Amino acid sequence: MPSNPSRRTFVKGLAAGSLLGGLGLWRTPVWALYAPGHLNELSGSDFELFIGETPVNFTGSPRTAMTINGSLPGPLLRWREGDTVTLRVRNRLSASTSIHWHGVLLPANMDGVPGLSFHGIEPGGVYVYQFKVRQNGTYWYHSHSGLQEQAGVYGPLVIDALEPEPFQYDREFVVMLSDWSDEDPASLLKTLKKQSDYYNFHKRTVGDFIDDVSEKGWGATVADRKMWAEMNMNPTDIADVSGATYTFLMNGHAPDNNWTGLFRPGEKLRLRLINGSAMTYFDVRIPGLKMTVVAADGLHVKPVSVDEFRIAVAETYDVIVEPDADAYTLFAQAMDRSGYARGTLATRAGLSAPVPVLDPRPLVTMDDMGMGGMDHGSMDMSTMDHSAMGPMQSHPASEKDNPLVDMQAMTTAPKLNDPGLGLRNNGRRVLTYADLRSTFADPDGRDPSRTIELHLTGHMEKFAWSFNGIKFSDAEPLRLKYGERIRLVLVNDTMMTHPIHLHGMWSDLEDENGDFQVRKHTVDMPPGTRRTYRVTADALGRWAYHCHLLYHMEMGMFREVRVEE
């Protein structure tokens, strides 16, 4: 992939085609011509897919993407619950490749993770995936080889239900969000390893210091700055990769290319939203329109009406909307507010609605990171009032004096009812994890027979990521006995938010009382959180378990889970 990294990106992903659009040079991508508002769709039970290279131009600079069937995102695959599907995937790249069916229950040798479930698909080779479809809902698929997902190897997946669903709608749109960089993904990762905050253009300034002094006083401000400096961290580090290099896409369209979904007045719409990005969390809203969330990660939830929701990397949400005007903006701003993806829902082509301004950039506080009590104090633990902070979080011995661990949360909580950084008290009704309730009872029903606690660990400056301070290459597999019910406890010891995905099995999130709440395939872990979920080891084989931030996974936040007889 040719790459010419530059600071040209003051476009910041806000408008990858803004200048081009103004000059009349922007051309609609070939794959966008398929049908207004719809992705190229392949349906049935027999599929031919090929992974190759395709020229693209999102920013005014021609680049080469890795694509599935020549499109980015790849074609919308439509399966039917109960069918047996066959997918022949051919590799036209010069490197080995793979496809993983995210959130889909299947035999281990069909899961598509090189080194665990199969060897990968060699250049010129073909792999035949075949399995029975045992579920329905909104999912997606992507490469699990190196950094190919960032380069374009991903696509949406919809599985139609056998039984009628518990809600009605007249029309649906699949909306896939993603992030694109003109930089080669390998060179982007190299940059992060060299300088982890390279893409953070929003570090605090002298002006911010003066503002803080007037608000908090000189002593507290200096103490706060000193503490962050001692930790080699920055409270503006919300995302490792930002709109400084990313263009944010909606169904493969840059913001100024305005993806549009057409509807008839009076129709009720189902939007199937998928976050297929490599590194970007999006906050999604449709100004002037309430959204009723009806499914999360492909499974039905009790309907909840919201103005906005945060969608972690790899999550999916289905919402029902009832538009009564001619045009609405579908707005998805990056969590660090460095840019956005946007599209339009309209009654006819060419209409658009106002695009909101980006919300203010959030700052991470010590409290957010589970370091409460340190915001206005020193790093001296002996002088701190621990009684005001709740029970102290324990840590595995492998984190102690570990050069791959730069911080540990001291007090943690589930924070299920917290909308998250940048979404608190914003005047809108924002979805929280506490709002998500499956429409069914715990499908297993047994109490877990044992508990496994894992800490999400990292070192910001070194851009090293791991579980329990042990990167994947040095870690033993987690061994589960076939049929057992376990409880996984995750503790986030970093200042970053991590979406954690277990392959092959469902993750049954518990509420703050330890009761079953909602079934998911990806569990979001904001800083300072301790969240628990149950897993039934009902799938034999070797499975991946990892952070779904692509560069975090690549740098070590990955484990193998082995389910054995």
Sequence-ordered list of residues with C-beta below 8 angstroms from that of 467, at least 6 positions apart, any chain: 454, 455, 456, 457, 475, 557, 559
Distance, in Å, from the CA atom of 317 to the CA atom of 311, rounded to the nearest integer, reads 8
Go through the chain and tell me how many residues it has: 565
Q: Please report the sign of the dihedral spanned by the C-alpha atoms of residue 365, residue 368, residue 371, residue 374.
A: positive
CATH fold of 365-565, please? Immunoglobulin-like (2.60.40)
Pairing of strands 530-536, 485-492: antiparallel
The helix-helix angle for 206-216 and 218-230 (nearest 10°) equals 130
* Residue 261 to residue 155: CA distance in whole angstroms: 18
How do 76-80 and 41-43 pair as beta strands?
parallel
Residues 6+ away with beta carbon under 8 Å from 372: 366, 389, 410, 411
The answer to whether 9-165 and 365-565 have equal CATH topology is yes
DSSP 30-85: GGGGSBTTB--EEESSEEEEEEEEEEE-SSSS-EEEEEETTBSS-PEEEEETTPEE
Rounded to an integer, what distance in angstroms lies between the CA atom of residue 502 and that of residue 496?
Answer: 19
CATH classification for the domain delimited by 9-165, as one of 3.30.70.3450, 3.30.1360.40, 3.40.50.410, 2.60.40.420: 2.60.40.420
pLDDT of residue 307: 98
- In order, the DSSP letters of 149-183 are HHHT-EEEEEEE-SSPPSS--SEEEEEEEEEEESS
Instruction: State how far the Cα of 246 lies from the Cα of 338, in Å rounded to an integer.
Output: 9
> In this structure, are residues 341 and 251 in contact, taking their beta carbons and an 8 Å threshold?
no
310 - beta bridge partners?
283
Q: What residue ranges of the chain have pLDDT lower than 70? A: 1-38, 201-237, 372-390
**59 token code pair:** 């920013």
pLDDT at position 467:
97
Delimit the domains of the chain by residue range.
Answer: 9-165, 365-565
H or E element that contains 319: strand 316-321
Long-range contacts of 443-447 (CB under 8 A, 24+ apart): 443/506, 443/508, 443/519, 443/536, 444/485, 444/508, 444/534, 444/536, 446/485, 447/485
pTM of this structure: 0.87
For 508, other C-beta atoms within 10 Å of its C-beta total: 24
Q: What is the pLDDT of residue 220?
A: 57
